[in-house]
Amino acid sequence: MSSLEKIYKDEERENCRSDGIFLILTEAITYPNNVVKANFLPASVNVRELWFRMDSVRKVEVNAFNSNALKNLKILTLVACKLDEIKNGTFNGLESVELFVLKSASLSNVENGVLDVMSEKLKNFQLEQLNTKVNETSIDAFTGSQTMNSLETVNIAYNLKPTLTQESFIGLRNVITLDLSGCQIESIGLGAFDPMSGSLKTLRLAGNRIKTLPEGIFDSLLSNTAIYLQDNEWDCDCHLMHLKNLVTTNSNFFGPFTCYTPAQFRDNLFTNATFCGCYDSTVTTSSTTTYTNTSTTTTIEPEDPREFQQECYEAGETEQPKTVTIQKPIYTLSINETENGDVTLDVETPNGIFVLIWFSSADQETYKTLGDEINCRIGTTRSTPIPDLMEHTTYTFCLMDSVAKTVSPLDCISYTKRYNFPQPWLFQSGKGVFTGVTVVACIVSAVVGAAIGALMLVKIQKRKQNKNKSNSSINEVTREAFTAVQSDWQQKHRISTIAKDSDSTMNTTIKTNTTTVDYLDHRDVPPPLPARRVDEPIYEVV
């Protein structure tokens, strides 16, 4: 008996939750090769609620939940479900589930009909994305197959595919609450909500990217459904006039409803926007004279600020011009090429999602363009990189509104990619920096040179002072030496004089102990050296 079975038996003996246990499988549990195998829970237990954290799981096999332990399961919660694929049949055996929650999910591919096995008992389905960068998935896989007879609440906060169609909710016949807030939905097809028109009480479409809606999309819901449409990217033009009339005349629409485009109406309420001149175009005027009362009905064509009139001359005709209507540009665009040859298209004020189309001339003689040589990209950012452009080739770039599906000729620009010339050692963009660095280096060099020069000058002055002091000291020593020599000579001279006088007087030789001492005759003493100038150095200090 497994430990799970033992726990279950102990609880059963204590009459604890006789209808089943609440089983929690945490991230600490590992699975071979990160795969949940078929019938992965063979224990003989009765699980009422399963909370399954799947951080490390990368694949769930078909029939993984098909076991006796889960045949009476009522609540299934899968947390951190990051699967590349959920196949039809993965949830086989879960016919009794009433609440199914996919929380913090990141799903790549979901086969159609994965919830069909729960069609009879499932009452509440919730799908919550891990983050806003998850791969988009189709809601049809969950709700577009077999009719979910008991499903009443659908709450999805996930990156759904941009478009909802008539097939998206074909299985939701009895849903009361449908919450699709924050699903990055861009457009909804006419009749998408018709399958649930008889039961739906609350419809939430807030926080999406919806720009416009087809007229009549809510006709089947007006009688008993509360509809929430705030925080979308509404394009307040003639195509959306019907929605303005709906939200201002029906109390079951909840906002606020603000315009996202065009730019002049950004953040304005529907009631304050003119919707490009769409208004009641029938005006009745009456004029009275002395003889006749006249009532005249005049139809005034509304002016569309997105268009302007241009006079054009027919080929060969120069007298009478004709007036043509041209769509105004809705974007301000430019093409920039960096020093290394990369090309980007910059949109000054991108209003929502646009489609970028570009092509080159396939035939230089006829300038015809082949359909398979047209490139396109959907974007919303100010700068879009354009890769793989051929040199010395002229390209035409056009921006198309993703909603209107039209292109103004003034929203097109031509560009010829230049040759990749050898790159200079200094680009124009770097000249300022280089000049600044050079000037700073020169200033620093001048300051350092001045400092070194000042230090050398101070050192030379100190050396001269030390030299003068040394010479002075030498002169003093020399003076003292000459004084001592002179004094010694004078003393010897006196002794010689005395001896001479004694010789002349006595004219005798003094003898002592057989040694005759002759006093030095002063004539044998060399004359003294001439006096040296005091300020004349004896030697130089090097």
> Following DSSP, what letter does each residue of 14-29 receive, concatenated?
TT--TT-EEEEE-TT-
- Please, what is the average pLDDT of the chain? 76
**Phi, psi torsion values for 375, nearest 5 degrees:** -110, 150
Report the candidate in 375, 327, 333 with the shortest Cα–Cα distance to residue 351.
Answer: 333
Tokens of 374: 């047209």
Which pLDDT value is given to residue 420?
57
Instruction: Compute the average pLDDT of residues 1-22.
Output: 56
**Band (429; pLDDT cuts 50, 70, 90):** low
Instruction: Compute the average pLDDT of residues 463-487.
Output: 71
- Residues in a beta bridge with 375: 358
Q: Is the pLDDT of residue 56 over 60?
A: yes
Tokens of 400: 């198309």
Question: What separation, in Å, do the N-terminal and C-terminal C-alpha atoms of the chain show?
Answer: 107
Which amino acid is located at 33 in the chain? N
Count CB-CB contacts under 10 A for residue 503: 15
Which pLDDT value is given to residue 23?
92
Instruction: Compute the average pLDDT of residues 155-164.
Output: 82
| Residue tagged 């096999």 (tokens) | 61
- 339 or 75, which is more confident: 75
- 230 or 402, which is more confident: 230
Complete domains list, the chain, with CATH: 3-272 (3.80.10.10), 331-416 (2.60.40.10)
Which pLDDT value is given to residue 193?
92
- 485 or 380, which is more confident: 485
**Band (289; pLDDT cuts 50, 70, 90):** very low
| Residues 197-253 pLDDT 10s | 889 999 999 999 999 999 999 998 988 899 999 999 999 888 888 898 888 888 899
Q: Is the pLDDT of residue 254 over 60?
A: yes
Report the distance separating Cα 299 and Cα 302, nearest Å. 9
- DSSP result, 461-481: HHHHHHHHHHHHHHHHHHHHH
Q: Is the pLDDT of residue 91 over 90?
A: yes
- DSSP result, 283-316: EEEEEE-SS-EEEEEEE-PPP-TTEEEEEEPPTT
Which pLDDT value is given to residue 163?
80
Question: Percentage of the chain with pLDDT > 90?
Answer: 23
Report the candidate in 174, 164, 171 with the shortest Cα–Cα distance to residue 200.
Answer: 174
CA dihedral 335, 338, 342, 347 (to 10 degrees): -30
Q: Is the pLDDT of residue 290 over 50?
A: no
Its pTM stands at 0.51
Report the distance separating Cα 258 and Cα 268, nearest Å. 5
- Residues in a beta bridge with 311: 323
Which amino acid is located at 468 in the chain? N
SS3 label, residue 244: helix
